[in-house]
Amino acid sequence: MKHTSIPLLLVIFLVSLFTNISNGQQKPPATPPSTPAKTDTRPLVQLSGVITAPDGISAIPYSTVNIRHSFRGTIAGLDGFYSLVVAEKDTIEYRALGFKKFSVIVPTGNAEQKYTQNVLLETDTLSELPTTVSPYLTPEEFKQAFLSLKLKDDLTERAKKNLDQENMRELYESLARDGQENQLYTLQQIASSSYYAGGQKNYSMLGNGVPVPTSLLNPFAWAEFIKAIKEGKYKKKKKDKDHDKEKDAKSKNNYDY
């Protein structure tokens, strides 16, 4: 009787297949239970204060106040006042443009859960090297462009025309007076009217602005007056005197009772 032998490779394949199936049916090991995250049990504190310059008087508006290693913070007001809820032992950072950063740690043992921290920020000056901005790459290029510049004749003639004295005088006379000039002109007219008051008619009140002085100070008027007296122009004639006497008598009789 002839026996058939199973090949060795087939035996190895079946053993490995059985092993994989048995391993796949085993349950995965259970993961250990996760520990709960620690909660922050530090007491909360109401932090407030004023941020000022080194002089302690000038407030620094809109300064930033942040808690380090967190996304919480606030911005100071226009008067430099700030207020923020923090926890004890928090590191607070103060920043402002043009000033150095300042840090402070909130102390512990605040019975009233309030803490005041006024901050003086030191100025931070940044200096840079001077920079010259020029449309040309080198000074030689600028010199060449300046020497090759040609002004038009019409621009020169226009400048001479604008500076002409006659044109400037016409322009000056055509412009209206402003408020200050009108006030000065009116005050001058009032002063002139007061100075020449009591003589002839004050023609400045009529609008022409030319006050006429009194004749008492006019030597030509005095000469005419003396000449008229010598010629007897101011003497009344006999006929006029008799007429005046009759008129006075009639008026006297009318009032006799």
Is the predicted pLDDT of residue 257 greater than 50, yes or no?
A: no
Name the residue among 43, 117, 45 with its Cα closest to residue 85: 45
Per-residue pLDDT band for 39 (boundaries 50, 70, 90) equals confident
Please, which pLDDT band fits residue 187 given cuts at 50, 70 and 90?
A: confident
pLDDT in tens, 232-251: 777 766 666 666 767 766 66
pLDDT of residue 138: 83
- Name the β-bridge partners of 65: 74, 94
What Cα–Cα distance (Å) separates residue 59 from each residue in 47, 50, 75, 80, 81?
Answer: 18, 8, 13, 5, 8
| pTM across the whole model | 0.39
Selection from 109, 120, 104 nearest residue 45 by Cα: 109
For residue 116, the model assigns a pLDDT of 92
Sign of CA dihedral 181, 186, 191, 196: positive
Q: In the 8-state DSSP scheme, what is residue 60?
A: -
Q: Please give the domain boundaries of the chain with CATH numbers for all domains.
A: 44-120 (2.60.40.1120), 177-234 (no CATH)
pLDDT of residue 53 exceeding 70, the answer is yes
pLDDT score recorded for residue 45: 92
Beta bridge partners of 66: 73, 93
Could you count the other beta carbons within 10 Å of the beta carbon of residue 67? 19
Distance of CA 187 to the CA centre of its chain: 37
Strands annotated E in the chain: 44-52, 64-67, 73-75, 81-87, 91-95, 102-105, 114-116, 119-120
Number of C-beta neighbours around residue 156 at 10 A: 10
